[in-house]
Structure 1
Amino acid sequence: MKKIKRILAITFVCVMACSCKKSFLELSPVSNANANNFYKTKADFEVAINSAYATLYVIYAPEEAVSYTEIMSDEGTLYAVAGAQADKWAIRDYTTTASNTLIYQYWQDYYKALFNINNVLDKIQAAGLDAAYTNRVKGEMMFLRGLYYYNMVQLFGGVPLVTKVISTEESYGILRSPVADVYTQIVSDLKFAVDNLPLANAVPAVGRASKGAAETVLGKVYLSMGNKTAATQVLQDVYNSGQYSLLPQYASLFGANVKNTKESVFEIQYLGGSASNPYSPYWTAFAPVTNGVITKYGGGINQVTDDLYDEYEAGDPRRDASIETGYTDAKGNFVKIKFPKKWEDRTAPTSGTQELSNNNFMVLRYADVLLLLSEATGDATYLNQVRARVGLAAFGSPGYPSAQYPTLALAIEHERKVELALEFHRFFDLKRTGRALTVLKAKGKAVTEQRLLLPIPQYVITQNNKITQNPGY
């Protein structure tokens, strides 16, 4: 990551010109063009668009905020762990402070990503390109911005809303917006994206946002706002679009060469095999630190809890497709430790301590849409499609474990936990349904209502004392 000479109060302003990318999957610079005279043709904008999409590699990286919600939930934990151990354990244990260096990094990374997005939006409005292209590009950027602000409002609550490129001086005057205002901006961005993005089968390049992706995020946002009627409408549109379907076998969703299937709604593209490519980081990061066998180096992040492992019903094939129960060390001894399997790539070439894995990462997939639809409508039909895929009894049938999950709401909670395990959904799911405190306290987490939000980084407040702190920090 580039160092900047002056850290701004909310890190709104950063250098853009040399961060442009030739392709979403090729990270070498294309030119040294000056940003002020670069944006003239569609080819120019494609470079900037790819740079904006490349921020996904940072925002959804294994040690970023969205990933770390796993250890804040009942799905993931840490044992031996690489890097800033104390800061990581504090996030897991709900003992973090405003001086936590990881949380400050998250804040910086989001606002740097938003700069790239806003830069494209600012430039294309005045570029004089045809309306169809202009509106599609704006839709793609607003999809990313809506997605990022949704993550941020879940993590921090009210945050400073920045929807254009601003100067250093202007940045000090933009303070935290109320949560309701952040949601208003998110909805506005995503509705524009829905209206201007193509269906999945017509996106201009693999990995670009579609109408269905925007509708899926918007549906989740509406549910977070308590608007089930609006959520039903947009999620039904995804359901009826004919663009997506469940794969016949759950295990076939994952693998180093499984990419952009009919079940994928929005997917981050990785290209393994070379250290100069954006290779997939999840297998290395989620492997146990001590292994030295299945990977050269394990990050020890998001190790699997017994609670998650025990959540699966007897005969559910998703458990074995999702979780490794240990590894055999160099001496032939089996070491018991549960860790994620979904991004496994045991034959990836290596560079230094990294496996150059090829696995993509699905931010959104169709099973998520189906379970959100059952949540929005109160209709178990969609949930039962997900269960039918893995050969389990339908909710409401005699074979369903109704003693454990007697209501549809609890059935959906259970199903999302096992279907989407370790895919960075659980903590946000529990917050959205108002179940976070009840569930996590019962699992031994020292969580409070105030601690369901991360602190605003202390350095941000030190730089601008008009920025307020979240209660409890």
Structure 2
Amino acid sequence: MTRLFKVYISLSIIFVLNGCGKSFLDLAPISNANQSNFYQTIEDFELAVNAAYATLYTFYGPTSAVSYFAEQLSDNATLYNVAGIQSDRWAFKDYNLKPSNTEVYRFWQECYKALYNVNIVLDKIGSAELNETYKTEVIAQMRFLRGLYYFNMVQMWGDIPLVSRPISVEESYATLRSPESEVYAFVVEDLTYAAANLPEPAAITLAGKASKYAALTLLGKVYLALNQKDKAAESLLQVYGKFSLMPRYEALWGANVKNTAESIFEIQYQGGSPNLPFSRYWREYAPTENFVLTLYGGGMNQVTDDLYGEFEEGDPRREQTVSLGYTNKEGTFIPIKFQNKWVDKEAPAPAGEELSNNNFMVLRYADVLLMLAEATDDPRYLNEVRARVNLPLYGSDAYPSSQYNSLALAIEHERRVELALEFHRFFDLKRTDRAVAVVSKTKPIKNENQTVLPIPQIVIQQNPAITQNPAYQGL
């Protein structure tokens, strides 16, 4: 039995310990009678920590809030036919979101359930009679996850209820939306602690756990979102040189490619069995029209012509990122663009669902280099990324400066093609105040108010003191 399999079985035990309670946040699971006796030993906390990390499978899943927000709201991705309630999914690409959207409510629930799993560990570890060094590392791991989650959530919803411990149903009604500034300050505090107390990568024995460099990378990203470039550079320069780009871009991808020299924080999957945490990116991002690529394509995040056209001629990243179509069983080529990064055509499918093996990189070194270029206004970091794919360097005569006539636009272009479909694009455009100007060329976004999601209608119905974001008031 592999260690990952043992961990996965352990997660099922922890999830049994946490049932669901009823509150407007839907985040306060009511424990069974054994919980008071559970959080005592290192073994108990290892189960709880693994359960908290397992929420990454949902939070960063192929049909997660982060996927919809970062890609479907951007100019990178579109939808044709999809499974589920099509109108609620199409609303993202059509900028026709309403508070009653069932996907938005699902995202809200998933986010706060994930936070509960983190907060319960933090709540219990403080009073546990355990080695202080162990307790500090557990706290650092959980504060990294909490910082990661709240950073995504504050960008997706703006002001949000800020919950730092497990709360009762009664307490949840008094927990209203905190201003963005308070949420960001909380994120910075969590990630600063994590960066100071997480181990070096070499000291991590279980793949998928965060290191100090993961925390520093994320902290740099947060500071960029706050337009604090000096602090961003300070964080990111501590990561610079600790990782390296893979010699070939193509070497980053493949069902059996795991934790390369470029990977800073990566979600671990193990395909092949329905009892293991198998990956669903391949199936969900295959077009629904096909019955050749996968047994059942989900149709999510289909590639736009606009994204395909962004790649320069001769850029190997285009072919690695985008498939131009497929040939059906009748021998007819179907010209529909879809992703080519998470492919697992050999995945077994004993019950009609591909049990794929692809990991998902949340943070990687190319992202660090491009953020450093943004934070320092120094193109040498940008050029490291371009040199890997043998494209003309920024500042050279051969660089396409007529299209990208400033360093800011060059970085925007490079981030789009380097990190395409990896859940960065709309976050990037929001950070640089370019979302409306860029996305309005291909999708009907009207103003900045639409760069956040609605607060779910049921949340406000359960607690009328919760306010709605301006774009969705009266809908």
| Common fold: TM-score over 0.5 | yes
Residue 56 of structure 2: aligned partner: 56
Structure 1 position 369 matched with structure 2 position 384:
no
Q: CA RMSD in A?
A: 1.4
CA contact (8 A) 2:20 2:30 kept: no
Structure 1 position 108 matched with structure 2 position 123:
no
Residue 161 of structure 2: aligned partner: 160
SS in structure 1 at match of 2:361 = strand
- 1:61-80 CA-to-partner distances (Å, cap 9, x unmatched) read 11111011211100000011
CA contact (8 A) 1:12 1:112 kept: yes
Residue 442 of structure 1 and its aligned partner are, at CA, apart by 2.1
Write out aligned runs for 1:23-172 (5 A). 34-69=34-69, 70-172=71-173
SS in structure 1 at match of 2:335 = strand
Residue 202 of structure 1 and its aligned partner are, at CA, apart by 1.4
SS in structure 2 at match of 1:135 = helix
Residue 129 of structure 1 and its aligned partner are, at CA, apart by 1.4
Residue 40 of structure 1 and its aligned partner are, at CA, apart by 1.4
- 1:129-175 CA-to-partner distances (Å, cap 9, x unmatched) read 12211111101100000000011001000100000111111111110
CA contact (8 A) 1:250 1:389 kept: yes
Residue 351 of structure 2: aligned partner: 352
SS in structure 2 at match of 1:265 = strand
Q: Which residue identity is paired with 2:47?
A: V
Structure 1 position 456 matched with structure 2 position 449:
no
Could you tell me how far apart the structure 1 residues matched to 2:29 and 2:246 are?
42
Could you tell me how far apart the structure 1 residues matched to 2:384 and 2:391 are?
10
Residue 339 of structure 1: aligned partner: 338
Write out aligned runs for 1:172-321 (5 A). 172-240=173-241, 242=242, 244-321=243-320
Residue 446 of structure 1 and its aligned partner are, at CA, apart by 2.7
Could you tell me how far apart the structure 1 residues matched to 2:227 and 2:89 are?
32
Identify if the C-alpha distance between structure 1 residues 324 and 94 changes in structure 2 by more than 3 Å, giving closer, same or farther: same
Residue 4 of structure 1 and its aligned partner are, at CA, apart by 7.0
SS in structure 2 at match of 1:442 = coil
Residue 443 of structure 1 and its aligned partner are, at CA, apart by 2.5
Could you tell me how far apart the structure 2 residues matched to 1:444 and 1:177 are?
30
Residue 196 of structure 1 and its aligned partner are, at CA, apart by 0.3
SS in structure 2 at match of 1:169 = helix
Could you tell me how far apart the structure 2 residues matched to 1:351 and 1:110 are?
31
- 1:416-444 CA-to-partner distances (Å, cap 9, x unmatched) read 00000000100000000111011011224
CA contact (8 A) 1:246 1:262 kept: yes
- 1:393-413 CA-to-partner distances (Å, cap 9, x unmatched) read 110011100000010000000
TM-score scaled by length of structure 2: 0.94
Residue 353 of structure 1 and its aligned partner are, at CA, apart by 3.2
Write out aligned runs for 1:432-451 (5 A). 432-451=431-450
Residue 11 of structure 1: aligned partner: 26
Residue 468 of structure 1 and its aligned partner are, at CA, apart by 0.6
Could you tell me how far apart the structure 2 residues matched to 1:351 and 1:464 are?
45
Q: What percentage of residue pairs aligned between the two structures are identical?
A: 57
CA contact (8 A) 1:281 1:355 kept: yes
Q: Unaligned regions of 5+ residues in structure 1, if any?
A: 18-32
Residue 15 of structure 1 and its aligned partner are, at CA, apart by 4.3
CA contact (8 A) 1:98 1:455 kept: yes
CA contact (8 A) 2:176 2:466 kept: yes
Could you tell me how far apart the structure 2 residues matched to 1:7 and 1:126 are?
27
SS in structure 2 at match of 1:362 = strand
- 1:98-129 CA-to-partner distances (Å, cap 9, x unmatched) read 00000001000111111100000011111121
CA contact (8 A) 1:440 1:447 kept: no
Residue 28 of structure 1: aligned partner: none
- 1:179-200 CA-to-partner distances (Å, cap 9, x unmatched) read 0000010000000000100111
SS in structure 2 at match of 1:67 = helix
TM-score scaled by length of structure 1: 0.94
- 1:239-272 CA-to-partner distances (Å, cap 9, x unmatched) read 04x2x10000000101000000110010000010
Q: Which residue identity is paired with 2:185?
A: T
Could you tell me how far apart the structure 2 residues matched to 1:362 and 1:441 are?
29
CA contact (8 A) 2:75 2:443 kept: no
Q: Which residue identity is paired with 1:168?
A: V
Q: Which residue identity is paired with 1:464?
A: N
Q: Unaligned regions of 5+ residues in structure 2, if any?
A: 1-14
Q: Which residue identity is paired with 1:346?
A: K
CA contact (8 A) 1:16 1:116 kept: no
Could you tell me how far apart the structure 2 residues matched to 1:47 and 1:233 are?
35
Q: Which residue identity is paired with 1:360?
A: N
SS in structure 1 at match of 2:325 = strand
CA contact (8 A) 1:75 1:304 kept: yes
Write out aligned runs for 1:412-423 (5 A). 412-423=411-422
Residue 10 of structure 2: aligned partner: none
Identify if the C-alpha distance between structure 1 residues 270 and 16 changes in structure 2 by more than 3 Å, giving closer, same or farther: farther
Could you tell me how far apart the structure 1 residues matched to 2:202 and 2:314 are?
35
Q: Which residue identity is paired with 1:438?
A: A
Residue 445 of structure 1 and its aligned partner are, at CA, apart by 2.9
Residue 6 of structure 1 and its aligned partner are, at CA, apart by 5.6
